[in-house]
Amino acid sequence: MALLRLRAALLGPARLRGAGIPWSVLRSYSSTSAKEKARRNAICERTELLEVLKARVKQLQASNVPEAMVNKAELAPLGNDKYQDPLRKVVAPGPAEEQPAARGRDESPARPSSWVEKLKKEMYIRQLKVERKLSIAASQPALEGQAKAKPKGKAKAKAKAKAKKSLKSPKSPKSPKAKVAAAWSQSHAGLHGVYARGKPRVAAVKEGTKAQRPQRVLEDKDSSQYKILQQTIQSNLECFLFLRQPEEAERLLLLYHSSPVKRRLLNVNAYNIVMRSWARKGHLQHINRLFFMLESVGLRPNLDSYAAALECMGRNQPSTKAIRRCVQQLKSDGFHVDELFQKCLFEEDEKEKVLRAIRIVQPNYQLPPPPKPQTCKSSLLQDFYSKKKMVSYPKLDFSVQELQERFQQQLEMELDNTVTIESVESTKPLTPQAIKARKLLATLRSHWHDSILQALQKSKHNMSKLKTASGYNILYPYLCLLPDEEYVGIMLQILNTLSPQGESLAVLARELASKVYNRYITQRKLRSRQLEKVQEIYEDYIHLLAKDSQPDEYLPREYWEKLVAEAGFGPSLNLKDCSWPYMLLLRLGMHMLELLVQAVKVPRNILNPRLEPKLIPVLYHIYSFRSSWQVGLIKPHPIFSQIVSDAAETLLTFNSSAIPMLCPPVPWTSPHFGAFVLNDTKLMRFVDGAVQHQLLLEQCPLVNLHPVLDALNQLGNCAWKINQPVLDIIISIFNDKGNEKLDIPPPISEAPRPSAAPSNSSTWNKSQKHELLLCKKKAAEMHSLRMDALYKLSIANYVRDKVFWFPHNMDFRGRTYPCPPYFNHLGNDVTRAILLFAEGRPLGPKGLDWLKIHLINLTGLKKKSALQERLEYANEIMEEILDSADHPLTGRKWWMNTDEPWQALACCMEIAKASRSPDPAAYISHFPVHQDGSCNGLQHYAALGRDLIGAISVNLMPCSVPQDVYSAVAQQVEEFRKKDAEQGVKVAQVLQGFVSRKVVKQTVMTVVYGVTRYGGRLQMEKRLKEIDEFPEEYLWEASHYLVKQVFNGIKEMFSATRDIQNWLTESAKLIAQSGRTVEWVTPLGLPIVQPYYRSRPTVLNCSMQNLSVKNSNNNQKPDTVKQKNAFPPNFIHSLDSTHMMLTALHCLRQGLTFVSVHDCYWTHALTVDVMNQICRQQFVALHSEKILQDLSEFMLEKYCSPGRETRALWQKKLMEQLSNVPKTGEFNLKKVMDSTYFFS
């Protein structure tokens, strides 16, 4: 029953506090005037009155007699969520509607008596009057079908006007009372919500015509909301398919099918899922009925429909006549029997049953041969894919037997879903206090386990009562997919890892639901026998990689595809799409979080026996400000944090996908399949809720994605091991209070504490409060950094004796990343220092020299010197290098004063071992040597524009010493400053002696990636603040002046670069203004779309609080500012990833070990020269393509439809802009081949 809450409508204080913050907390946020306090007290009084009325309503409601409900069947709402249950709105005939509040746990659905209705109506009218008095607009339009937060300004004024209008005309048929009556009668048409403490909210009275709005969602089949609703229905049906409950699946389908309006949300896939449910049971009669239902709504059966029918016939073998009729119908619908096996995805024994049915009418039928593998036609990879130049794939240093054992270990880890490992802090001695705290924690966890289990079962029992003819609970099937114990384990895992500072509700909800989803996918893969098939194929696949098997001239992807084709029968390796919509994930996570908060309690006197033995919640829901946003947090009680701190537990639990793989990854063969054995991994990373990237990849011909998939497989197949001596030194410092200078975070016990202050906080002065705030902030930062380091070091320690692999995927621009998030080679100096290649190679004649040059590069001491000078310098300081290697913590500690101290120390140790070996050239080295691009973004711009001056500045031209673009820009800025100082410009005179490479470096580096003048000014101000002598009063003026001169300097030095950047920016702006997002295809064939929309947040209403969820829906208007500002940097990122992938693929053909950290390429010391040559060849090949011309042609075709005689003005302008490709300069690209410092 929906009760009105005045608070939600009062926009004054509500703006500050959001729904649900107690007034006492609100008061502590700000000091207000006496007038404001008086106004607020008046509001409080009104609120109290409403609370009394609400309490009375609840009391009356409890005494009601349940009545049978005969309304239309529909989904029961979930905790008042409009978004979750927009389908109720679709059939609402009334002019306005209020969602029913959740009932108490043990209450049954009941129609309120007329007394209650009258009281509620009075409250409703009272509320509207209060709104008029306070001149406040209603907070949420009740019939907003998409439940999105209203934009401010005009919309608010409109709502206010409508509210007033309706109050002024009591005699009209659309009077408030009439509307309210309609609203109340509608709000009780459905079943009550799930949650015990439903959150009422105010609904604005809308005009009757607005009731039609939700239908627009159903009419617009391309809208993102429509697709999300379809996806929600299908994922629910998939749950019933998994639970083997065809009756429930059909009941849900009928809820929609029987409503002419809701029916529009059903597509043929929804009917097919129900058909598959019945097919597994062999019930042909039900499938026949579903075929009639399909045709009755004007839908045509597709291949999956016929596959389900034939599977059913294969199970119970009806008459030959029935099968023949089905096959004839299939052909008359324009399909061929072969297509069933070429295009359908099968699970379990479905394929065999379909074949069995077909062979009853066609006894000699044979499965169609697998399609011939296609070859990528990219001009950049003609040699790479040429069969004439094929070489065998490089072997790993493992036998078939060893790789099979490693695969089994990986499989066991993924089947367990989580991995529990010893923390590196476990070496500390156990104190009696810790032993006592651990026992206490174990007892509490046992109680909590039982409480959560009980709460979950009670919640499910209440939901199951809703399985009546009048409705159905949308969350219930998702809580039945796994055993109850698994849900409890997931909730306890979240509780155990919760930070003392708390975590946002949205993050926790997402994490809880994702864990459920991942386990469900694992179970589906087991149930469908997909895992069995992966095991069989993987056992054959490792013959490509093992040292004791015959070499094969295949790439990993090609070999895997060949083995799949040969396997023939069994389930498909791709599951039918069963992803859950983002809002559904959040809803499920919020429900689990609410159960956790309600169930987990601790005695108040557990640490202090003098207190009363009262049970208090372990988790608290509080609000905090992040920037201007108010965020709901779940924070553990200090008692719980204290017990956890005292227990100093040494076990850490991770998802299995957070640990590096113990066997070579499954090769990527499609956007849906690759990386881990069981864990679901997306080829492309994207923000939650975004679907456009995945759709683009699915529409792209698979052959076009081959280069990208092969490059990811090459990066993932690099085997790693741990540098144990360096890891041990790092762990010893980590356990000994850390060292901030060496980037090892100290424990929270070292956090600064506020100076002694009065015990009564009300007597604190402003500076004391500020100091306390700073201390809290520092403590939170220290905790976060410490935990991050603890995770990395503990995972490294766990795999210290193992060989491991990092499967890779990419972001939407094509930049590659390792999938395990904590510990990988993209990490900081500490993480990189403890990683070695598992494969060792002799140093060769020049390897030791490259190790020495690499060491000097890591120190940052000789950036402007030639390579020979760096080598000579390394030889001069050999004594320091050897001392660092032999006595890292007790010697002269030279390594500690370098840019990358830990990598420098690891390199010192490698040089010491190599130089002391009998024959350094034969010394087997596992050490990665890096070659770094010289301001790589500007290198791509200079090459695109053939910009001679720019090319010289970023080392595209051969030079005897490296050119430093940052120093060149600083020099240019200094010249501008001198001229201005001579002309009497005060700020230019103040800046004398302060313009340096360090001051301008960050801005120059980020200009290429789209930094604005505003951002550049902040960077400059930060650098100037670091100079103690610089006068503080000139900070703003000087930074403003400097950023202007840096931009002018770059414009002068990189004229072609600025032209290209401006062309890209202007093109993106016009495209976005036309209502489209910017798309392009990289030279390797990867399709890219920018996911920036003017998204209005969707409000997800839950018992605990309303969540404002940002949507990345592709039916919303593009964000013009983001689209235009992001296009230049994103386009350049897509080019640097293309260059890296080309280098990776050609290094593979040369038998090199290669990995990258974006524009920093790693290989063995022996092969640095070969990698350098390949890297330059591929850069020249890439930029020899007509990149800008191709981009222009692609965009003209996509955004300016050809053949139209009358074009809109914007289209003519866009055509003119896209056609006007910037002119290029005179730089000869082939010069890059001889440039030593291009990558060095």
Q: Catalytic residues, which ones?
A: 932, 1001, 1159
Q: What is the DSSP letter of 257?
A: H
Q: What DSSP line would sit under 348-414, residue for residue? A: TTHHHHHHHHHHHH-TT--PPPPPPPP----GGGTTTT-GGG--PPPPPS--HHHHHHHHHHHHHHH
Is residue 1214 within 8 A of residue 1199, CB to CB? The reply is yes
Position of tokens 């002598």? Answer: 1029
Q: How far apart are CA 182 and CA 168, in angstroms?
A: 19
Tokens representing 837 are 């290649």
**Distance between first and last Cα of the chain:** 70
Reduced 3-state DSSP string for 1164-1222: EHHHHHHHHHHHHHHHHHHHHCCHHHHHHHHHHHHHCCCCCCCCCHHHHHHHHHHHCCC
Please report, for residues 450, 487, 491, 587, 874, the alpha-carbon distance to residue 513 in angstroms, rounded to integers and kept in the order given. Answer: 21, 10, 10, 8, 54
Q: How far apart are CA 914 and CA 1136, in angstroms?
A: 34
Is residue 380 within 8 A of residue 1185, CB to CB? The reply is yes
Q: What is the DSSP letter of 817?
A: E
Determine the residue type at 986.
K
Q: How far apart are CA 177 and CA 172, in angstroms?
A: 10
Q: How far apart are CA 654 and CA 518, in angstroms?
A: 13
Please report, for residues 525, 572, 673, 680, the alpha-carbon distance to residue 534 in angstroms, rounded to integers and kept in the order given. Answer: 10, 10, 11, 14
Tokens representing 141 are 């339009």
Question: β-strands 471-473, 619-626: how paired?
Answer: unpaired
Q: How far apart are CA 908 and CA 859, in angstroms?
A: 11
CB-neighbour burial class of residue 823 (10 A; exposed 0-12, middle 13-18, buried 19+): buried
Tokens representing 164 are 């007033």
Position of tokens 């590196």? Answer: 424
Q: How far apart are CA 929 and CA 829, in angstroms?
A: 14
Determine the residue type at 268.
V
Position of tokens 């120059």? Answer: 1004
In a 3-state reduction of DSSP, which class is residue 664?
A: coil
Q: How far apart are CA 677 and CA 569, in angstroms?
A: 20
Length of the chain: 1240
Contacts for 46-52: CB closer than 8 Å, 24+ residues apart = 46/6, 46/130, 47/6, 47/7, 50/4, 50/5, 50/6, 50/123
E strands in 48-127: 74-76
Nearest to 229 by CA among 72, 71, 75: 75
The set of residues, in sequence order, having a beta carbon less than 8 Å from that of 366 and lying 6+ positions away, is none
Reduced 3-state DSSP string for 510-568: HHHHHHHHHHHHHHHHHHCCHHHHHHHHHHHHHHHCCCCCCCCCCCHHHHHHHHHHHHC
In a 3-state reduction of DSSP, which class is residue 946?
A: coil
CB-neighbour burial class of residue 603 (10 A; exposed 0-12, middle 13-18, buried 19+): middle
Q: What is the DSSP letter of 1001?
A: H
How many other C-beta atoms are found inside a 10 Å radius of the C-beta of residue 724? 14
Is residue 1007 within 8 A of residue 1016, CB to CB? The reply is yes
Position of tokens 């080829």? Answer: 683
